[in-house]
Amino acid sequence: MHKVRWGILSTANIALTQVIPAIQRYENTEVVAIASRSGKAQQAADKLNIPKGYDSYEALLEDSSIDAVYIPLPNHLHKHWVMEAAKRGKHILCEKPAALTADETAEMIQFCRSHNVKFMEAFMYQFHPQHHRVKEILASDAIGEVKQMRASFSFYLDDRVTNIRMNKEMGGGSIYDVGCYCIHAIRNILESEPLSVHANARIDSETGIDITSVGSMILENGTVATFDCSFDTTFRNEYEIIGTKGRIHVPRAFRPDVVGGEGLILIQNAEGERTEKVSGDIYRSEIAHISQSIIRDLDLSAFEENTTKNMRVIDACYQSIELGKRIDF
């Protein structure tokens, strides 16, 4: 196989504006079909130069010309359609969060393994080279021993009537939508898992979803980490790492694509302050990673394990909010 042929399950905005164009930018991939239950598939196909439009997800999955599918469906539908795709031998890129619980996630991943298909959760931010550079700076001892990390991801959600982010049964809520990035970044940048989690939230009285959430974690390496996420404040997507001799601030941590792919790393220590600029195409890099894994039959088990571990922390956050106490692992 020299080129991965992709099918898209849904005409979700992220598919139309980000992922499909990224697949079309990468030389070893092509989009051959898109499906929608809304009747909009052919319109999207025509607009984006996709050969086939299907009016059902089942029809797309039965298309033998498709090697892999991208699933940007509402969160509560991920498990079902991941399994339906795996049954038909399709490799899978599934939007975050992979499922609604860690148990669901583990079941999905095991099902994909049993059907010999690749599975990857679509945390596109991690493929931006600024994060690798941050790890290099940490390893150089530029800010000394790391003691704290904080991460924030928020935006103001205008549509609170029809937006699926406000629907609890569909996996709505700020932690599922944007807090998951903060948790993922803390765990992966610091390469340590939480020993305990304590989270609080402002719950929307009408829908029951968490509009704004804050959480604190004690990691296995002793670092204290905090995060906040919200549908109720201005756009922020950043993290800060604080050490004994300095700090690193990454103000475009999760969506550098909105500023042309340029990431910023601000380093402050006894030697002064400096800024590094690092550019990358996060969606194209994400597509390249899973597509090369399919073409070359590379192991994605580290990504699968990471997905389950992240969902485990999300579970603990929601449990902490519900019970009003710290959750220990």
Residue in 52, 79, 96, 118 annotated catalytic: 96
Q: Assess whether 87 carries a catalytic annotation.
A: no
Query: What are 215's strand-pairing partners?
Result: 199, 227
Q: Are the beta carbons of 64 and 33 closer than 8 angstroms?
A: no
Nearest Cα to Cα of residue 308 among 89, 96, 88, 85:
96
Active site members: 96
